[in-house]
Chain A
């Protein structure tokens, strides 16, 4: 990333479904203002929103950082949630451990992480049980 990029940071509170999506919405609007192509903005918005929903659904709190450079956006979502016991299983479409209140909102279909992977050019997931998860993804802006 370049030193001249725009750096954004958002605190995300676990269980606060009323505000869920605000970070992704702000990232999306900034990319719009920067004149980034429509389909790229949509990919960033989808991946950021899924990452934010994961924190809200599973963690007590977390942080989303976005580093918007000239050529790409790098997003990091860090949380203090329970961690992911089996990443391979979590990456499989349809697998979900979402609680009922998340499913009632139309989520928890086991599509979150696969959607992030599909929408991004690079994704990395580090998780430690009972400590938390760090999800990183990058999307080229050109």
Chain B
């Protein structure tokens, strides 16, 4: 699913869009506020090549740094949160697109799950 479609589904406001990546097909989602968890998931799945979306309530620059390490290209902040200028500038320098949705983390996950986007841990079938 393209970032534009995800944006429409979650009624987002686009904070920064890396137009060079606008054709990426996102098919996987990770939802978490613990960057440690994100790194842990990725350290167990370093061969994951799908492009995935990060849904989070954290807005500090470390979210961008962590995303850069694991090649996340799209971050969506939930509950209408807006990151600081420092966070946005770092995202621009890393080429990571940023959006903010008025939806909660739970609702955002539900909307994307309904559209058949996969869980980063690939547990959908065994749930």
Residues of B within 8 A of A75 (CB): none
Expressed in whole angstroms, the Cα–Cα distance for A107 and B42 within the complex equals 15
Interface bin, chain A: 20 to 34
Q: Decide: A109 near B34, CB < 8 A? Known: A43-B43, A114-B40, A115-B43.
A: yes
Residues of A within 8 A of B71 (CB): 42
Output the least CB separation between A57 and chain B (Å).
Answer: 11
Q: In chain B, residues 30-66, which have Cβ atoms closer than 8 Å to a Cβ of chain A?
A: 33-40, 42-44, 46-47, 49, 56, 58, 60-63, 65-66
Q: Decide: A115 near B39, CB < 8 A? Known: A39-B46, A42-B70.
A: yes
Output the least CB separation between B36 and chain A (Å).
Answer: 4
State the main secondary structure of chain B at its contact with A.
helix
Q: In chain A, residues 1-44, which have Cβ atoms closer than 8 Å to a Cβ of chain B?
A: 17-18, 20-21, 24-25, 28, 38-40, 42-43
**Stretch from A45-53, A61-69, A81-89, A125-133 contacting the other chain:** A45-53
A49 near B69 (CB under 8 angstroms)?
yes
Name the CB-closest residue of A to B65. A21
Expressed in whole angstroms, the Cα–Cα distance for A118 and B43 within the complex equals 6
Binding site for B on A (CB under 8 A): 17-18, 20-21, 24-25, 28, 38-40, 42-43, 45-47, 49-50, 93, 104-112, 114-115, 118-119
Q: Top 3 A-B pairs ranked by shortest CB distance?
A: A21-B65, A106-B35, A109-B36
